[in-house]
Structure 1
């Protein structure tokens, strides 16, 4: 269905932490805690000696291509995944774009800013927010979906997403959180057999580089060329290029894999604790696969304000199309932080 926004598409989790200057424990932003690691900070700092020269992205681009087993012509480095959404909206000839919601709102915001009317497919709680490819209009010539999806934490089967591919259609899959999934199961990154496929990856979430802005696009060479023509000169800084090259190295990929298993264990601990509040009407969307969980809770807006007063920031859900004020997104944190949050949640709900 073609819609007007109706939601604050520009609201993101960082606003929950910044508002009113309070010192808050952050469960609102999906960047992995305790990152970037010391070795990565040191590597980025060492790149500063080269700031007098213009950025040269060839080595980083080749490293990303090698990481996914692709030729460099299928890779474009961007200033975070957000820049990629803007490039797609501005550079591609699109007549009927469609976004599968609930999901990260920046793709739709970028399309609207570029003058497009945007159709939506709203996945339903009753279906576990899972994709039914038959629900996507045949004439949509650009389709955007996240996997695993922010904020639902649903991991869609790669085969289901691939079924959305059509001649003449660009299929954009936002895999910003895929490296938090053990084994990156259901990933489409690196696939060249799906027509019109564009995969977006971000290095900001897992490595704690949101302030540096680094991500990349994987797509057919002709699509990469169109997007590159729309980029300004030197769009990715020298420190960000250094980070990209380092984060796709063999040792870094092994560290990412270990972190994915830790996140899965920490998420299980969070979900187990949340289920203690089912008597208060709390429901967890599952199975969750990302470094965050989505919960439905009566009077969630009030609970969110109470949690804030107790020192905890969580992400409101009503800015995501398809959700309302009864939804909250919670970032996965370490066991100690989660236990503190669960205790605060009990107090916010009037327990004890």
Structure 2
């Protein structure tokens, strides 16, 4: 496999996210730009969160939620830190761990690099190549990198890296940060890692359960790292409703519901890829493992604009380091939505 290139040039807009594609549109758009599962949060979760509002007069107490998350992952409670979404975790890592030579493996979610840069760090990049299917070559990461960030499955490429390849990145003197925000959308979570010395795992409840507006995620790591991150947090960083959601979404019945949703997403993604194969000028990255697909087409900019006029919002790819204006990301939706998208694609492509 050719060695991916290393780059330190800042991205055009690391703060651009999918919600910008649908905000202020003034028209009803089918949202394929944001990766939150459609039809969420479910009614039972809304009810649990609503019931927690009776406790808003008291300061948040995260002990039960922390214990529930720990039990869900089979680790002691001191290996868990609850955060206001994964985005807060990236800020805490940038501020508390103080790496000398951090490296971010791209293309991936841009917030970790933005947080590191905001904290004053010079950030190196390893750019995975489309010619290699955006697959990780652990040897591409410099030996002296003391903090490495990678997503699994990766946003926006939808690539699921083997756990064994990720573990090759771990070594003494280095902290490996694995963003598993979409891992619960992979049936069985076969490549999920466990926290260990030097390995830090980030999870989010935003995507599967539709809680982007509530802000809830967590970190799994050894107690020393958890303690360092916790000291960088403000008091009561996670609200009572968010703690309620974390506890509820960690129970065995709800995990079974998430697993069923992951299988449904896999079926819907297969349908999406089959329909995209009908177009010669559209090339998706495969195999895809996440609830979204990365798509290459020379006409991406024009296509995105025309689809917007036809009622569909897609995520532009040029704000991800390692991609460019020829890339689009689209969320996996149900088969009927995909079929409607295909009709719009035929019109947009003439």
- TM-score tier (shorter): over 0.9
Q: Distance in 2 between matches of 1:19 and 1:276?
A: 32
Runs of 4+ that moved beyond 6 A:
none
2:3 corresponding residue in structure 1: none
Q: Distance in 2 between matches of 1:19 and 1:162?
A: 43
| Structure 2 alignment gaps of length 5 or more | 1-5
TM-score, normalization by structure 2: 0.98
1:40 corresponding residue in structure 2: 45
1:343 corresponding residue in structure 2: 343
After TM superposition, list the pairs within 5 Å mapping 1:156-175 onto structure 2. Answer: 156-175=161-180
Q: Distance in 1 between matches of 2:222 and 2:256?
A: 28
TM-superposed CA distance for 1:6, in Å, is 3.1
Cα deviations across residues 121-167 of structure 1 (Å, max 9, x unaligned)?
Answer: 00000000000000000000000000000000000000000000010
3-state secondary structure, aligned to 1:182: coil
Determine if contact 1:108/1:118 at 8 Å carries over to the other structure: yes
Within the candidate set 251, 254, 257, 1:255 is matched to: 257
Q: Distance in 1 between matches of 2:266 and 2:11?
A: 34
Q: Distance in 1 between matches of 2:203 and 2:254?
A: 16
Cα deviations across residues 291-347 of structure 1 (Å, max 9, x unaligned)?
Answer: 000010111000000000000000000000000000000100011111111111111
3-state secondary structure, aligned to 2:134: coil
2:100 corresponding residue in structure 1: 95
Q: Distance in 1 between matches of 2:249 and 2:191?
A: 21
TM-superposed CA distance for 1:2, in Å, is 5.0
Is residue 2:285 matched to residue 1:285?
yes
After TM superposition, list the pairs within 5 Å mapping 1:19-34 onto structure 2. Answer: 19-34=24-39
Cα deviations across residues 274-299 of structure 1 (Å, max 9, x unaligned)?
Answer: 00002xx2111000000000010111
Q: Distance in 2 between matches of 1:6 and 1:148?
A: 21
Q: How many residues align?
A: 345
Q: Distance in 2 between matches of 1:51 and 1:299?
A: 50
Determine if contact 1:158/1:187 at 8 Å carries over to the other structure: yes
TM-score, normalization by structure 1: 0.97
1:214 corresponding residue in structure 2: 216
Q: Distance in 2 between matches of 1:126 and 1:256?
A: 33
TM-superposed CA distance for 1:19, in Å, is 3.9
Q: Distance in 2 between matches of 1:247 and 1:174?
A: 19
2:16 corresponding residue in structure 1: 11
Q: Distance in 2 between matches of 1:255 and 1:213?
A: 21
Q: Distance in 2 between matches of 1:340 and 1:180?
A: 23
